[in-house]
Amino acid sequence: LKQNWVNKGIKATQKSTMSLLGVDNYYELGIGKNMFLSLRYWLEATNIIKPTSEGHELTLFGKYISSNDLSCKKPFTVNLMQYFLSCDKPENGVEKSHTFYWFFNIFEERILKKQTLVEELLRWDTLTYRRSTSQNTIGRDIDCLLQTYTKSEKTHPEDKNISVLAQLGLVQKSGELLVRTTIRRNMIDLDAI
């Protein structure tokens, strides 16, 4: 969930001529097709937009962000984005990746390696959904989850992929180890809770 995507997606949703449903609308936002699909996913998964028969509309939370925090810097906004992303069934009824739900609600380890995450998610996915998901797919889901919470600074001058949720500090890297932590004190927002 890139830093500038929420603002871009909200503005697109508010335009009467723009729809986040039409895959060919990506060029109007100045992003690629895959980024366009990813943007729509993240906005739905964090309960900022919801699908309608005509396209998408802002949820109550999306309207709050539009009016008060388009840059997603306030702890209130980021805490609620985290809540909606990691809850089982979002208020907007849109299905989303169960990886985030699993990591924050089912998986209990605090210090881990990426391979452990892949193996445990594969096991849980098989037992819960009675399906066989490829290890590559699960690996990509875990990579996405980790980047969502660890991509907090630019590592290259052209890097624009800072994640909004990284500011919560919920996953820290220490060499090959990953450490799951609690929300940083400065990001706790009692109103969001």
CB 47, CB 84: distance < 8 Å? yes
β-bridge partners, 180: 171
pLDDT digits (tens, 9 = 90+) for 75-124: 999 999 999 999 866 565 556 778 999 999 999 999 999 999 999 999 99
Q: How far apart are CA 150 and CA 179, in angstroms?
A: 11
Helix axes 5-14, 60-68, angle to 10 degrees: 110
Q: Quote the pTM value.
A: 0.85
Q: What is the DSSP letter of 140?
A: H
pLDDT digits (tens, 9 = 90+) for 12-64: 888 755 566 566 666 677 777 788 788 888 998 899 998 888 778 899 999 99
Q: How far apart are CA 85 and CA 106, in angstroms?
A: 14
Q: Where are the beta strands (DSSP E) in the chain?
A: 49-51, 56-58, 111-112, 171-174, 177-180
Q: What is the DSSP letter of 183?
A: P
Give the CB-side neighbour count of residue 105, counting CA atoms within 13 A: 14
CB 25, CB 18: distance < 8 Å? yes
